[in-house]
Amino acid sequence: MTLLTGTNEIIYGLWNTTAGGSSSLSIPGNSIGTYNPTQTPQHVFDQNNITKYTSYGICNQSAIYSSRCGANTGLYLTLQRGGSLLTGIRFYTANGLPERDPMTITVEGSNQPSSALLLGSSWTLIYNGSSGLNSDPGRYRLGVTETISNNVVYYKSYRLLITSIRNISNAAHYSEVELLGY
């Protein structure tokens, strides 16, 4: 297995998005449907576990905290290396609140052109389960590698969605995601 991403990936932040559904792009900000302007989706694949991505989803920076904040957020990217077989995924925690750690996720793949990647019909679900952070490993730490054994298709694009966070908070955050495969 090898790391499928490089530091030059173009990543799009998402919110209000579920597996099989159409994507809603997120923008920088501190309100509903945004991500922290200094903690962008590009940090997820910069191979620096000190940076992080913080997404508010249906909440904002000063919202009443909820277990739904940060859920249905995530990202998608088209791999610069081209079609690749995803066989595993693992998360690094961020420095902030453990409550914001992703607990469950979905991963989808697509070989559609970039112009179609906002459409839910462009994506095929290949993983629905744990993020590998069931036990809190501490801050800036690597979680357990989750194996994706049922994927047999080399996809050019991948969509990763957070479906739940560890506890009540106003956002989801993580410092790195490693997409592993061939």
Q: Where are the domains of the chain?
A: 2-181
What's the order of all strands across the beta sheet hosting 102-110?
Answer: 24-25, 11-15, 73-78, 157-165, 102-110, 124-130
> Is residue 106 helix, strand or coil?
strand
pLDDT in tens, the chain (182 residues): 899 999 999 999 999 999 999 999 999 999 999 999 999 999 999 999 999 999 999 998 887 798 899 999 999 999 999 999 999 999 999 999 999 999 999 999 999 999 999 999 999 999 999 999 999 999 999 999 999 999 999 999 999 999 999 999 999 999 999 999 99
Distance, in Å, from the CA atom of 81 to the CA atom of 54, rounded to the nearest integer, reads: 26
Distance, in Å, from the CA atom of 21 to the CA atom of 121, rounded to the nearest integer, reads: 7
Contacts of 122 (CB under 8 A, 6+ apart): 110, 112, 116
Q: How many CA atoms, within 13 angstroms, populate the side-chain half-sphere of residue 62?
A: 0
Which CATH code of 2.60.120.260, 2.30.110.20, 2.40.30.160, 3.20.20.150 fits the domain covering 2-181? 2.60.120.260
The model's pTM is 0.97
